[in-house]
């Protein structure tokens, strides 16, 4: 059951399309969380149109209250007119995607940003760069210092949540969403730079949150693994649903290649072609091999298995 920190809520009556919603699950990090949020606020062109949904575990309420006691006045002074703080029954890192989906369903923005308490925004007017893609169904990829080909902090159109009912099926949300985006040819690089202040990257935040996070890939025999047969199958199924939505809503008119995914399923197109272009440091294995999927599209472009 979710609990809202009622003393730390400010909701303004504006249309959903006026907002970019930032979803931030966090745990046991007061100062990093404040720093992370304020870098977004202080670099935004219009902080009044940024919504923040912050989520803590219910066994971490003292951290939540201490954080919001400091953060709330800063947000109000900066002109942020919509933010909320919540606690949920602890699900653990291995169910991180459920926190983000829950937060997304509380939000109202046209765009939903997955943010981290160890992330720092570096680009001024980052919100303007996102809004350039209004009306276009894309996953937006901000730059990050490792040059990882995934959208490490995914920016997702709200209709993604509406179509699938969740933001990510797998707790490795950045990987799961990014692979779908490449498979559908909707990954879009944008001119926004972030810094990921994670211990193994920058030496920052070497705390229990970092040390105890579980490994969510590397064992495909585990059905819950990022690259298990079951998870890969789910990605194809979600691609099919999103593909049908994009066709039905005329996304081809926005420059989307509606033949790409059909050719992927038919084994005529390597889905990782553009991922490899975005992976100069070869940080993923997706580009090493491509096996034709045991899937096909019927005449109605509905996905079926052989």
Predicted confidence (pLDDT) at residue 40 exceeds the cutoff of 90: yes
Predicted confidence (pLDDT) at residue 215 exceeds the cutoff of 90: no
Task: Report the pLDDT value the prediction gives residue 200, as an integer from 0 to 100.
Answer: 83
| Lowest mean pLDDT across 12-21, 99-108, 158-167 | 12-21
Residue that wins the pLDDT comparison between 155 and 12: 155
For residues 276-289, give the mean pLDDT. 80
Task: Report the pLDDT value the prediction gives residue 15, as an integer from 0 to 100.
Answer: 52
Measured in degrees and rounded to the nearest 5, phi and psi for residue 225 equal -65, 150
For residues 245-262, give the mean pLDDT. 97
Task: Report the pLDDT value the prediction gives residue 12, as an integer from 0 to 100.
Answer: 45
Cα dihedral sign, 114-31-214-54: negative
| 3-134+151-157+189-211: CATH architecture | Alpha-Beta Complex (3.90)
Burial of 134 (0-12, 13-18, 19+ CB in 10 A): exposed
Closest CA relative to residue 153, chosen from 184, 112, 125: 112
Do residues 181 and 140 make contact, with C-beta atoms less than 8 angstroms apart? no
Task: Report the pLDDT value the prediction gives residue 199, as an integer from 0 to 100.
Answer: 86
Residue 126: strand, helix, or coil: helix
Question: CA dihedral in degrees (144, 145, 147, 151; nearest 10)?
Answer: -20
Most confident of 90-94, 259-263, 282-286: 259-263
Pairing of strands 155-157, 111-114: antiparallel
Residue that wins the pLDDT comparison between 298 and 25: 25
Q: For the chain, where are the alpha helices, taking DSSP H only?
A: 30-43, 61-77, 96-106, 126-131, 158-164, 173-184, 199-202, 208-211, 229-248, 260-265, 273-277
Q: How far apart are CA 166 and CA 57, in angstroms?
A: 20
For residues 22-43, give the mean pLDDT. 97
Residue that wins the pLDDT comparison between 177 and 1: 177
Report the percentage of the chain scoring pLDDT > 70.
Answer: 88
Task: Report the pLDDT value the prediction gives residue 45, as an integer from 0 to 100.
Answer: 98
Question: CA dihedral in degrees (16, 20, 23, 29; nearest 10)?
Answer: -130
In sequence order, the 6+-apart residues with CB closer than 8 A to the CB of 294 are 305, 306
Predicted confidence (pLDDT) at residue 8 exceeds the cutoff of 80: no
Report the percentage of the chain scoring pLDDT > 90.
Answer: 77
The pLDDT confidence band at residue 304, using thresholds 50, 70 and 90, is: very low
For residues 17-32, give the mean pLDDT. 94
Predicted confidence (pLDDT) at residue 20 exceeds the cutoff of 90: yes
The pLDDT confidence band at residue 206, using thresholds 50, 70 and 90, is: confident
Residue that wins the pLDDT comparison between 290 and 64: 64
Do residues 41 and 47 make contact, with C-beta atoms less than 8 angstroms apart? yes
Predicted confidence (pLDDT) at residue 69 exceeds the cutoff of 80: yes
Task: Report the pLDDT value the prediction gives residue 2, as an integer from 0 to 100.
Answer: 53
Task: Report the pLDDT value the prediction gives residue 225, as an integer from 0 to 100.
Answer: 93
Predicted confidence (pLDDT) at residue 13 exceeds the cutoff of 50: no
pTM: 0.90
Arithmetic mean of pLDDT over the chain? 89
Predicted confidence (pLDDT) at residue 303 exceeds the cutoff of 60: no
DSSP assignment, residue 252? G
Can you read off the two tokens belonging to residue 5? 């920190």
For residues 273-298, give the mean pLDDT. 71
Domain residue extents for the chain: 3-134+151-157+189-211
């Amino acid at each position: 059951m979710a609990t809202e920190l009622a003393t730390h809520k400010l909701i303004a009556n504006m249309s959903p399309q006026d907002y970019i919603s930032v979803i931030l699950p966090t745990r046991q990090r007061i100062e990093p969380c404040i720093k992370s949020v304020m870098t977004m606020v202080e670099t935004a062109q219009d902080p009044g149109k940024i919504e923040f949904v912050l989520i803590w575990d219910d066994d971490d309420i003292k951290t939540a209250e201490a954080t919001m006691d400091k953060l709330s006045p800063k947000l109000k002074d900066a002109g942020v007119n919509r933010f909320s703080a919540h606690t949920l029954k602890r699900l653990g890192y291995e169910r991180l995607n459920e926190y983000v989906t829950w937060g997304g369903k509380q939000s109202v923005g046209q765009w939903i940003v997955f943010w981290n308490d160890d992330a720092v925004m570096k680009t001024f007017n980052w919100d303007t760069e996102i809004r350039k893609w209004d009306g276009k169904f894309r996953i937006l990829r901000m730059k990050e210092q490792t040059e990882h080909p995934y959208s490490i902090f995914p920016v997702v159109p709200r209709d993604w949540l509406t179509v699938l009912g969740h933001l990510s099926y797998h707790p490795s949300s950045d990987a799961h969403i990014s692979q779908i985006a490449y498979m559908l040819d909707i990954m879009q690089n944008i001119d926004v730079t972030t810094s990921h202040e994670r211990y193994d990257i920058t030496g920052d935040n070497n705390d229990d949150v970092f040390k105890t996070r579980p490994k969510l890939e590397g064992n495909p025999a585990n059905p819950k693994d990022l690259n298990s047969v079951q998870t890969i199958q789910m990605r194809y199924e979600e691609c099919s649903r999103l593909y049908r939505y994009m066709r039905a809503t005329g996304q081809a008119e926005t420059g989307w290649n509606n033949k790409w995914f059909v050719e992927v399923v038919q084994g005529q197109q390597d889905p990782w072609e553009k991922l490899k272009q975005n992976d100069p440091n070869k940080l993923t294995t997706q580009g090493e091999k491509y096996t034709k999927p045991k899937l096909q599209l019927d005449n109605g472009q509905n996905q079926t298995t052989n």
